[in-house]
Amino acid sequence: MDSAPPVPPSLPSSSPWLPFESRRRARDEKREAVLRAAVQLFLEQGYHRVTLNEVAERLNITKPALYNYFRGKDEILFECWSMGAELVDSVITEINGGGGSGLAKLRKLVHAYAALMATDFGASLVRFDLRDLTERNAAVARASKKRIDATFRRYIAAGTADGSIRPCDPKLAAFAIAGALNWIGHWYRRDGELSPSEIADEFTVRLTEGLATESRQQMTKKTPGAPQRRNSGRTTAGKKRTGGGTR
């Protein structure tokens, strides 16, 4: 009877080859690092003004190294946009999985969306031009925007049905709310007076109090109070700063 084949020696602990899961995680982390560097540059300078060389320089790598993760600048742009969209989708999924009235769900979405607009990937949803995407990716982006708009309308309609929101046109109300929230992505500055959380608190009150059937006094008892300002100083022009940047 043949003897059993010799057992190959195990790899030494100093083997340069990482386990598959570790290698995939490392690649994902590097890919996300590229996106974070790119989205900052796109927001600071504008998509068309940024080159892949500049992205590589910010990461202290070579331009060819970027092609290990992305095929081109337009793909990076879409992935930055997708990161923001996934954050919103995650919030909506969590809200849908919970209970509460239409008004309660609307407030949760307004609060989360306002905070996301004060992040780089959140701002990319409103600062990037979909015409810079490929036709296929632009279609994906438009469909995502429609889903977000439909969610705002659905929560408002549910609120009017359960009595937590005054009778109104859900479409117009959703447009008004989303318009105000999206603009945060344009004016927010990190060195501003209010933090993202404080801005979200304030917007939640301002954008829903007119829709609520309950009194303002009752609502403020259930909603985070007016934010405390991080500093009381004024600019040299005598005007208070608005709040928080894209970097």
DSSP per-residue string spanning 140-203? HHHHHHHHHHHHHHHHHHHHHHHTSB-S--HHHHHHHHHHHHHHHHHH-BTTSSS-HHHHHHHH
113/26: higher pLDDT:
113
- CATH topology (fold) of 19-70: Arc Repressor Mutant, subunit A (1.10.10)
* Whether pLDDT at 75 is above 60: yes
**Domain 74-247 adopts which CATH fold?**
Tetracycline Repressor; domain 2 (1.10.357)
Question: Residue 243 — very low, low, confident or very high, per pLDDT cuts 50/70/90?
Answer: low
Q: What is the pLDDT of residues 169-208, one digit of tens each?
A: 999 999 999 999 999 999 998 888 888 999 999 999 999 9
Q: What is the DSSP string of 203-218?
A: HHHHHHTTTBSS-HHH
Q: Where are the domains of the chain?
A: 19-70, 74-247
pLDDT by residue (tens digit) across 111-155?
999 999 999 999 999 999 999 999 999 999 999 999 999 999 999
211 and 145 in contact (C-beta within 8 Å)?
no
Lowest mean pLDDT, pick from 193-202, 216-225, 233-242: 233-242
pTM of the model: 0.75
